[in-house]
Amino acid sequence: MNKSIPTEIERFDLSARIQHIILFTSFLVLAFTGWGLKYAYQEPASAWIRFWGGARSAGIIHRVAGIILLMDFIYHQFYILNLFRKKDLSLTIVPMPKDLRDLIQNFMYYLGLTKERPSFGKFSYLQKFDYWAVYWGMMIIGTSGFFLTYPVMVSSIFPTWTLAWIWDVIFTMHSDEALLAIVFIFIIHFYSEHLKSDVFPMSWLWLTGRMSVDQLKHHHPEEYERLFGEKKNK
């Protein structure tokens, strides 16, 4: 092994790690406070709401957490712009046709149809999906949440012919997509970063931001090639 290859690489810088912590804290608070209202007629909704200090305070906490998440999201856009300005931005997070091929190959590997695992870049298709899911969530849940917070103001921008159904659609969007986000996170994210046998009980990446080069080589071979491939050939 070439000596110029370090044992660890920095995958997420400090700003990204802090953004992530704010993201998941506000997300969890939103999920927990909103859950009581979504399932208001299923016990233990009332106990759940009491935990947050009653319906009024749960509502206020929910709104504050929503604003924090929105700020975090906006900050992230500036963070990306800044990376772009510093020419430090790699487009490895953008979904490509290769991701679809990787997906198919991965399923074939699972089913024993091929012995080759797909060779992922810096981010696997599932990680890209996870990342862009936040944009989807912000668009659907964030927008509808904003509408529901300021119904009087927002109603003036809706055309009259939509008024008979628009609020029901907004309400369903907010609550169903929130459920989708929660279940998605609890299944995919918790599986890949906590339960999966090679990270159990937890991947430390979110705190250290660092990934071992062995892990990188194994899980993201293309990124490994991109970073160290040429050096290796020298």
Partner 1 sequence: MRYWLNVLLLLLLTLVLVPAAGAATDAATCLGCHGSMEGAVNVNQEKFSKSVHGSMNDCTMCHMALKGAQHQGLAGGKPDKAVTELAAAISPKSKIDPIAGAACVNCHPDVYASYKASVHGRNVIDKKSSDGPICISCHGSPHYIQPKSSKESAVNHFNVVQTCASCHEEKMMIEKYGFTPNLVERYKESFHGRKLKVGHGGAPSCADCHGAHDIKSDKDPSSPVVGANKIKTCSKCHPGATEKFVAAITHKPLHPIAHFSEIALIILTVGTFIFIIIHVLLDIFADIRDRLFRKGGSNE
Q: Which residues bind partner 1 (CB under 8 A)?
A: 36-37, 40-41, 45-46, 49-50, 54-56, 58-59, 107, 109-112, 126, 148, 151-153, 155-156, 158, 160, 163-165, 167-169, 171-173, 176-177, 179-180, 183-184, 187-188, 191, 196-198, 218
Residue number, 68 or 166, with CB nearest to partner 1: 166
Residue 51: how many CB atoms within 10 A of its CB? Answer: 13
- Smallest distance from the beta carbon of 82 to partner 1, in angstroms? 32
Question: 122 near 217, Cβ under 8 Å?
Answer: no
- Smallest distance from the beta carbon of 87 to partner 1, in angstroms? 35
- DSSP codes, 168-192: HHHHHHHHHHHHHHHHHIIIIIHII
- DSSP codes, 113-180: S-SPPP---SS-HHHHHHHHHHHHHIIIIIHHHHHHHSHHHHHTTS-GGGTTTHHHHHHHHHHHHHHH
Tell me the C-alpha distance between 145 and 171, whole Å: 8
Q: What one-letter code names the amino acid at 207?
A: L
- Smallest distance from the beta carbon of 88 to partner 1, in angstroms? 32
Residue number, 72 or 177, with CB nearest to partner 1: 177
- Smallest distance from the beta carbon of 180 to partner 1, in angstroms? 4
Residue number, 39 or 79, with CB nearest to partner 1: 39
Of 63, 71, 9, which is closest to residue 231 (Cα–Cα)? 9
Residue number, 57 or 77, with CB nearest to partner 1: 57
Residue number, 56 or 82, with CB nearest to partner 1: 56
- Smallest distance from the beta carbon of 141 to partner 1, in angstroms? 11
